[in-house]
């Protein structure tokens, strides 16, 4: 359990404590774990959860931070602060737990990312304060900066609160600046640019993305550079600047040859970067530039090889196809792909994509196809919980 001289923590009670902090019922936890209510009841009575994979999943799901494994249980329940025995194992655990949160975000979307996030942020902030003066204080600050990136993504995509998202990304950038860490600074600007594009503010996004490229110039980071160039191409396409858009996505593709085993935080904070995602990005750009037939062909080609577990990515690309079919006046195909995207987006809590489908439906209602049965069916699906 924890170091000698301390009483072992009752893991089942710890799970129950964090479940209640999230205002989850035992049935809620059972549904999330895919087990019966009785299994959760037994689990919360178990002093030691033997299944390591289940323990790891509970950490991600409920937001139980590593720090709590290094204090006495009485202090946990009473919410008292006690000095942490600072050690490298604890620091490494926090870093790994953050990676698992980002991995849950990539596969499970914002719903997975948001679980226990407030508790996580409080614990990481407290941990940073306690590491003041320690040799690896900078590592703790890096975890906090990246945690702000995740918090901003939740505010942007799930809560559609762009003001909070921009403020949170600003905090991440300020910490990265304090650390003089070019990769973290560029990541913060990149994430902020995603928010600007979601708000249909391409020129603000272009400014941020060019700034991010300037920051990492000469430092390497081909994975991050590729993601920045991909998003820059989309910003240019939204701004109806085709030459700049095609040039940027071409540069993104050229960075694929530079990828290697070099460590980059963006490899786990960002989604897949591959020929498939670059191809799909070309399709997205073509759609914004109103070349709809080309857009559909390129998105379909990209989707063939994109990891099927990346549900948020597939939901976003599928609604882009629906919009392209609308541009071609092929309403049945438009509705079919909008419904498919809605199903995917709801499964991961991607309100950003759902909001986009609602916008498409509003456009359909205002069009000459407003009486089509398929349009009404999509409206009914959107209205259902």
The rounded distance, in Å, linking the Cα atoms of 43 and 314 is 35
Q: Residue 65: is its pLDDT beyond 80?
A: no
Query: What are the angstrom distances between the C-alpha of 46 and each of 30, 50, 70, 129, 274?
Result: 15, 9, 19, 33, 44
Structural contact between residues 63 and 117, judged by C-beta atoms closer than 8 angstroms: yes
CA neighbours closer than 13 Å in the CB half-sphere of residue 113: 28
Lowest mean pLDDT among 37-41, 55-59, 115-119, 377-381: 55-59
CA neighbours closer than 13 Å in the CB half-sphere of residue 50: 1
Average pLDDT of the chain to the nearest whole number: 84
Better pLDDT: 149 or 107? 149
Rg for the chain (alpha carbons), in Å?
Answer: 22
Question: What is the model's pTM?
Answer: 0.74
Q: Residue 85: is its pLDDT beyond 60?
A: no
User: Residue ranges of the domains in the chain?
Assistant: 307-385
Mean pLDDT within 1-25? 66
Structural contact between residues 270 and 244, judged by C-beta atoms closer than 8 angstroms: no
* List of residues 6+ apart from 299 with CB closer than 8 A: 280, 283, 284, 287, 317, 320, 321, 324
What interhelical angle do 222-238 and 202-216 show, nearest 10?
Answer: 160
Better pLDDT: 46 or 370? 370
Q: Which pLDDT value is given to residue 54?
A: 72
The rounded distance, in Å, linking the Cα atoms of 15 and 220 is 42
Q: Which pLDDT value is given to residue 83?
A: 39
Query: What are the angstrom distances between the C-alpha of 103 and each of 111, 267, 271, 317?
Result: 12, 10, 9, 20
Q: Residue 4: is its pLDDT beyond 80?
A: no
Percent of the chain residues topping a pLDDT of 70: 84
The rounded distance, in Å, linking the Cα atoms of 70 and 87 is 10
Mean pLDDT within 42-63? 74
Q: Which pLDDT value is given to residue 60?
A: 63
Q: Which pLDDT value is given to residue 61?
A: 67
Query: What are the angstrom distances between the C-alpha of 381 and each of 222, 333, 341?
Result: 41, 16, 12
The rounded distance, in Å, linking the Cα atoms of 75 and 64 is 15
The rounded distance, in Å, linking the Cα atoms of 45 and 50 is 13
Better pLDDT: 5 or 173? 173
The model's pLDDT over 262-302, given as tens digits with 9 standing for 90+, comes to 788 887 777 778 999 999 999 999 999 999 999 999 999 99
The rounded distance, in Å, linking the Cα atoms of 95 and 200 is 34
The rounded distance, in Å, linking the Cα atoms of 331 and 73 is 59
Structural contact between residues 315 and 344, judged by C-beta atoms closer than 8 angstroms: yes
Give 95's pLDDT tier (boundaries 50, 70, 90): confident
Give 187's pLDDT tier (boundaries 50, 70, 90): very high
The rounded distance, in Å, linking the Cα atoms of 332 and 45 is 53
Q: Which pLDDT value is given to residue 238?
A: 96
Name the burial class of residue 185, with classes exposed (0-12), middle (13-18) and buried (19+) by CB atoms within 10 angstroms of its CB: buried
Lowest mean pLDDT among 62-66, 96-100, 118-122, 167-171: 62-66
Name the burial class of residue 4, with classes exposed (0-12), middle (13-18) and buried (19+) by CB atoms within 10 angstroms of its CB: exposed
Q: Which pLDDT value is given to residue 113?
A: 67
Q: Residue 86: is its pLDDT beyond 70?
A: no
Structural contact between residues 117 and 150, judged by C-beta atoms closer than 8 angstroms: yes
DSSP states of 89-136: HHHHHHHHHHHHHHHHHHHHHHHHHHTTHHHHHHHHHHHHHHTTTSTT
Mean pLDDT within 45-63? 73
């Amino acid at each position: 359990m924890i170091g000698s001289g301390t009483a072992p923590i009752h893991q089942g009670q710890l799970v129950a404590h964090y479940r209640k902090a999230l205002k989850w019922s035992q049935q809620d936890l059972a549904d999330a774990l895919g087990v019966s209510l009785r299994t959760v009841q037994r689990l919360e009575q178990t002093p030691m959860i033997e299944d390591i994979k289940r323990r790891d999943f509970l950490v991600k799901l409920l937001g139980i931070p590593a720090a709590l494994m290094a204090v006495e249980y009485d202090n946990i329940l009473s919410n008292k602060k006690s000095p942490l025995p600072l050690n490298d194992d604890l620091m490494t655990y926090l870093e790994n737990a953050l990676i698992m949160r980002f991995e849950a975000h990539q596969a499970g979307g914002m719903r997975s990312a948001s679980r226990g996030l407030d508790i996580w942020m409080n614990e990481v902030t407290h941990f940073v304060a306690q590491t003041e003066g320690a040799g690896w204080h900078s590592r703790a600050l890096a975890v906090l900066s990246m945690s702000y990136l995740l918090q901003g993504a939740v505010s942007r995509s799930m809560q559609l609160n762009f003001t909070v998202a921009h403020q949170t990304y600003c905090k991440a950038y300020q910490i990265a600046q304090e650390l003089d860490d070019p990769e973290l600074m560029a990541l913060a600007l990149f994430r902020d640019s995603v928010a600007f594009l979601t708000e249909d503010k391409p020129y603000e996004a272009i400014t941020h993305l060019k700034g991010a490229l300037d920051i990492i110039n000469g430092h390497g980071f081909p994975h991050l550079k590729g993601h920045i160039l991909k998003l820059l191409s989309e910003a240019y396409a939204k701004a109806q600047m085709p030459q700049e858009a095609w040039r940027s996505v071409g540069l993104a593709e050229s960075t694929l040859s530079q990828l290697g085993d070099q460590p980059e935080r963006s490899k786990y904070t960002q989604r897949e970067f591959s020929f498939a995602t670059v191809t799909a990005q070309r399709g997205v750009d073509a759609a914004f530039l109103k070349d709809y037939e080309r857009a559909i062909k390129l998105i379909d080609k990209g989707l063939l090889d994109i990891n099927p577990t990346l549900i948020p990515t597939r939901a976003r690309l599928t609604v882009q196809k629906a919009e392209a079919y609308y541009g071609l006046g092929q309403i049945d195909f438009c509705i079919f792909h909008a419904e498919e995207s809605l199903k995917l987006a709801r499964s991961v809590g991607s309100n950003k994509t759902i909001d986009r489908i609602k916008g498409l439906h509003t456009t359909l209602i205002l069009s000459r196809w407003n009486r089509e049965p398929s349009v009404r069916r999509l409206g009914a699906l959107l209205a259902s919980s």
